Amino acid sequence: MLQVRRSLPVFSVLVLAACNVVAQTARATQIPVSTQAPLAVVNPPLTDTATAFPTPTETITPSPTATEIPAAAIPLFLTLTPGIALTLTAVYSTPGARETLSAQQTMEAATVGAKMQGYSTSLLSQCPNPSDPPKQTWLDIPVMPQATTGQVVQTLIGSYYCFRAPVTVAEMETFYKSQLTPPNWVMQGDVNGQMVFVGFSQAGAQFLTLVSGPGNQNDLIVAINVTNPMVMPTPKP
């Protein structure tokens, strides 16, 4: 039976997911960069005994202020954390923060991609020929309307759902990207038909994995595996 492993660091992934959502708003209101005005040259009048030297005067510009992250850009689940808006604002106002977060997201995506290949094989190998009528949703995750059959697969630690549909990998990815959108869902990886999302709700945070592979009827087999919501502790004021 399948041993489904949760290998992503929960805390780091949740922080990156939140910052990923906030980045969409932060990019729309770029943090101002301090620039120094050109030096003005003042020439005093010449006299017979004095040699004139230019005296520079400097115009000082106001210091830039932090770009405030609006609360509407923060997932509903995270709004329960006291001071989250100020915290994310401080993160994105730190010099070099965006570049650092971008590098971390790239590293996470590469790690996810390497691990997803074996995970995909494990899920799809237990569901080669789903034969039940397809469901419309699985644990509130939509099933593609083109699905022709489906099946619930039981494992030692839970269950997941798979279905087959006459679609391409690109069509599957387009469907789920349009259905699972921020702030409730944040995509963390997308590699060759394997997708990872982090979901946020009042019930907590959860991970969703979508894997796909070619079927034996000129179609696509898709597996949906979603964790139960995990309640994150709320700091005491």
Q: Each residue of 59-111: pLDDT tens digit?
A: 555 544 555 555 555 555 455 555 656 666 666 567 776 676 666 656 655 55
Out of 52-56, 117-121, 136-140, 157-161, give the one with best mean pLDDT: 136-140
Range of weakest confidence among 40-44, 138-142, 198-202, 216-220: 40-44
The predicted pLDDT at position 7 comes to 41
Average pLDDT over residues 150-179: 94
Q: How confident is the model at residue 120 (pLDDT cuts 50, 70, 90)?
A: confident
Structure tokens at 189: 């990886």
Query: Mind listing the pLDDT tens digit for each residue in 29-52?
Result: 444 444 454 444 445 555 555 555
Residue 231: what pLDDT? Answer: 80
Measured CA to CA in angstroms, residue 237 lies from 11, 58, 181 at distances of 20, 45, 31
- CA 94/CA 66 separation, integer angstroms: 9
CA atoms within 13 A on the CB side of 121: 4
Lowest pLDDT segment from 28-37, 84-93, 182-191, 196-205:
28-37
Report the distance separating Cα 126 and Cα 133, nearest Å. 18
Other CB atoms within a 10 A radius of the CB of residue 90 amount to: 13
C-beta separation of 149 from 163 below 8 A = yes
pTM above 0.85, yes or no: no
